Structure 1
Amino acid sequence: MKHILFVCTGNTCRSPMAEGLLRKLAKQRGIELEVRSAGVAAVEGMPISRHAESVLKDQDIHDQFYSKPLTGELVNWADLVLTLTQSHKQYAIRQFPDAADKTYTLKEYVENDERVLGDLKEQDSLYVSMELAKSLGNDISEADRERLIELRQRIPSFDISDPFGGSREEYEATAAEIRTAIFRLLDKLASSDQNRA
């Protein structure tokens, strides 16, 4: 059974909506998964936002969600760490570099354009080598800096919009964005299961 961890900022809006939606939609499709969520700046035990809760209830999801900070234990538990923005991904990789090869933004993970995927792979490799150089006190080459800027300009945004503090409609729009990506995620998981069979 695959373990999937969603990561956002406070673990009160986007990542619990993604967790609840994936759990429900995977069950409907007969895909066995265990799903959790956490936040890079979460306080332990906070309830999810009322709009996130009502959006989930509209989808007939009545799970109880309480915020959890992102920890090494959760990252180790996960087979796949799916963040809701690029900055969440960068934070997770900085904090847990051993998990870099299983950490993606949700939208990036379901992307299927080979050119974009190649750019992403190069960007991640550059980002990791630059972080390593910084931690060792080494200078980062100007060529690496320029290449990273070039890649960032070329790669589309893989961030899911943040509805925090917004209206019910903004939460519904974010949930729709998440749901679209989750349908693609389930297709990808189902096809990888078929390829293993």
Structure 2
Amino acid sequence: MKRILFVCTGNTCRSPMAEAMLRELAARNGVSLEVRSAGVSTVNGLPVSPHAAETLRRKGIAHTGQSQSLTGDAIGWADLILTMTSGHKRGLLQWFPQAVEKTHTLMEYVNQDETVIEHIHELEQLYSEMHVKQALGQQLSAAERSRLLALEREIPSFDIADPYGGPLDLYRSCANEIERALLKLLDKLRQE
């Protein structure tokens, strides 16, 4: 059984919606998964935001969890880690570089463009080299910096915008974007 961890900032909006929706979609489609969520900048025990709860309720999906901060145990538990933004992914990989092979943004993971996927892998390698060199008091070469900046410009944004503090319609739009990606995710998981 595949274990999937969704990650966002506070674990009160995007990642709990993704967790609840994937759990429901997988159950409806007979796909066996374990799903959790966590936040990179939260405390344990916060309730899901009222608009996120209402958005899920309108989709007929219950969510009873509370916020969880991202831990090494959660990273170790997961077979696949899907973040809501590239910033979440970069931060997570700074703290847990051993998770590089299983960590993606949700939107990049369901992307089918092979050229973009190759560029993402190259960019991740450059980020990893940059972090190692920074830890050693070194810097990327001019050529490496130039290539990193070129890749950042070429790769489309795979971020799902944070609806926190916005109106209910913004949460519904966010949930719909996540749901479309989750349907692609289920298709991809069935093919594995």
Normalised to the residue count of structure 1, the TM-score between the two structures is 0.96
Q: Which residue of 1 aligns with 2:113?
A: 113
State the shift of 1:138 in Å.
1.8
CA distance, structure 1, for counterparts of residue 152 and residue 131 of structure 2: 16
CA distance, structure 1, for counterparts of residue 147 and residue 65 of structure 2: 41
Q: Secondary structure at the match of 2:116?
A: helix
Normalised to the residue count of structure 2, the TM-score between the two structures is 0.99
Q: Which residue of 1 aligns with 2:96?
A: 96
CA distance, structure 1, for counterparts of residue 159 and residue 182 of structure 2: 14
State the shift of 1:139 in Å.
2.3
Cα shift readout 1:68-118 (whole Å, capped 9, x = no counterpart)? 100000000000000000000000100000001100000000111011001
CA distance, structure 2, for counterparts of residue 66 and residue 37 of structure 1: 9
State the shift of 1:58 in Å.
1.1
Which residues of structure 1 form unaligned runs of 5+? 193-197
Q: Which residue of 1 aligns with 2:55?
A: 55
User: Once superposed, which parts of structure 1, at least 4 consecutive aligned residues long, lie more than 3 Å away?
Assistant: none
Q: Which residue of 2 aligns with 1:166?
A: 166
Q: Which residue of 2 aligns with 1:39?
A: 39
Which residues of structure 2 form unaligned runs of 5+? none
Q: Which residue of 1 aligns with 2:183?
A: 183
**What code does the residue aligned with 1:75 have?**
I
Q: Which residue of 2 aligns with 1:74?
A: 74
CA distance, structure 2, for counterparts of residue 116 and residue 39 of structure 1: 27
CA distance, structure 2, for counterparts of residue 87 and residue 99 of structure 1: 15
CA distance, structure 2, for counterparts of residue 33 and residue 134 of structure 1: 38
CA distance, structure 1, for counterparts of residue 58 and residue 131 of structure 2: 43
Q: Which residue of 2 aligns with 1:65?
A: 65
Q: Secondary structure at the match of 1:69?
A: coil
CA distance, structure 1, for counterparts of residue 48 and residue 139 of structure 2: 42
Q: Over aligned residue pairs, what C-alpha RMSD do you find?
A: 0.6
Maintained 8 Å contact 2:53/2:63:
no
Q: Indicate yes or no: 2:126 matched with 1:126.
A: yes
Identity among equivalent pairs (%): 51
